[in-house]
Amino acid sequence: MTGVPAVFLDRDGVLIEDSGYPHLPEHLRLIPGASAAVRRLNRLGYLAVIVTNQSGVARGLFSEDQMHAFNGLLTRRLAQDGAVIHAVYACPFHADAQDERYRHPDHPDRKPNPGMLLRAIADHQIDPARSFMIGDQQTDMAAARAAGVSGFLFEGGELDVFVKELLGG
Residue whose C-alpha is closest to residue 67's, from 110, 11, 120, 114: 11
The answer to whether 99 is a known ligand-binding residue is: no
DSSP state, residue 119: H
Task: Mark whether 140 is an active-site residue.
Answer: no
Task: Mark whether 106 is an active-site residue.
Answer: no
Alpha helices in the chain (DSSP H): 34-43, 55-58, 64-80, 115-123, 138-146, 159-166
The answer to whether 123 is a known ligand-binding residue is: no
**Which one of 12, 109, 140, 160 is the catalytic residue?**
12
How many residues are recorded in the chain?
A: 169
The answer to whether 160 is a known ligand-binding residue is: no
The answer to whether 81 is a known ligand-binding residue is: no
Q: Residues comprising the binding site for Mg(2+)?
A: 10, 12, 136
Q: Which residues are annotated as a binding site for Zn(2+)?
A: 91
Residues designated catalytic: 10, 12
Annotated binding site: 10, 12, 91, 136
